[in-house]
Amino acid sequence: MNSSDLQTVAIDLADRSYNIAIRGSLFDNPLSYAELPKAASALIVTNTTVGPLYAVRLQRALANKFGQTYTVTLPDGEEFKNWQNLNLIFDALLAHACDRKTILFALGGGVVGDMTGFAAASYMRGVPFVQVPTTLLAQVDSSVGGKTAINHPLGKNMIGAFYQPLKVVCDLDTLKTLPQRELCAGLAEVIKYGPIADMDFLAWIESNLDALLARDPAALAYAVKRSCEIKAWVVGQDERESGLRAILNFGHTFGHAIEAGLGFGVWLHGEAVGCGMVMAAQLSARLGLIDAFFVNRLTQLIAKAGLPIKAPVLPGPNNAERYLALMRVDKKSEAGDIKFVLIDKPGNALVRGAPDVVVRQVIDTCCA
Answer for which of 26, 103, 172, 178 binds ligand NAD (CB under 6 A) is: 178
CA gap 290, 286 in Å, rounded: 8
CA gap 158, 320 in Å, rounded: 22
8 interface partner picked from ligand NAD, ligand GLY, none, CB below 5 to 8 A per type: none
Residues 71, 95: contact at Cβ < 8 Å? Answer: no
Segment lying near ligand NAD (by CB under 6 A), choices 131-139, 221-229, 328-336, 350-358: 131-139
How many other C-beta atoms are found inside a 10 Å radius of the C-beta of residue 322? 18
300 interface partner picked from ligand NAD, ligand GLY, none, CB below 5 to 8 A per type: none
Cβ-proximal residue to ligand NAD, closest one: 110
Rounded to the nearest 10 degrees, the angle between the axes of helix 83-95 and helix 110-122 is: 60
Show the beta-strand stretches assigned E in 75-109. 103-108
Question: What contacts 241, CB < 8 A, 6 or more positions away?
Answer: none
Angle at 366 between CA 357 and CA 151, to 5 degrees: 90
3-state secondary structure of 264: coil
322 interface partner picked from ligand GLY, ligand NAD, none, CB below 5 to 8 A per type: none
Binding flags for ligand GLY, 134-153, as an x/- string (CB under 6 A): -------x---x-x------
CA gap 224, 298 in Å, rounded: 20
278 interface partner picked from ligand GLY, ligand NAD, none, CB below 5 to 8 A per type: none
177 interface partner picked from ligand NAD, ligand GLY, none, CB below 5 to 8 A per type: ligand NAD
Segment lying near ligand NAD (by CB under 6 A), choices 23-31, 102-110, 298-306, 334-342: 102-110
CA gap 328, 324 in Å, rounded: 6
Catalytic, 152? Answer: no
Binding flags for ligand GLY, 241-270, as an x/- string (CB under 6 A): ----x--xx---------------------
Considering only residues 298 to 337 of the shown chain, the ones binding ligand GLY according to CB under 6 A are none
Q: Which of 47, 85, 151, 249 is catalytic?
A: 249
Whole-number CA gyration radius for the chain: 20
Residues 144, 231: contact at Cβ < 8 Å? Answer: yes
DSSP, res 136: H
Is 192 an interacting residue with respect to ligand NAD (CB under 6 A)? Answer: no
For strands 66-74 and 147-152, give the pairing: unpaired
Q: Annotated catalytic sites, by residue? A: 125, 147, 189, 231, 241, 245, 249, 252, 256, 269
Q: Which residues bind ligand NAD (CB under 6 A)?
A: 47, 49-50, 53, 76, 78, 81, 108-112, 114, 134-135, 137-138, 141-142, 145, 147, 157, 174, 177-178, 182, 185, 269-270
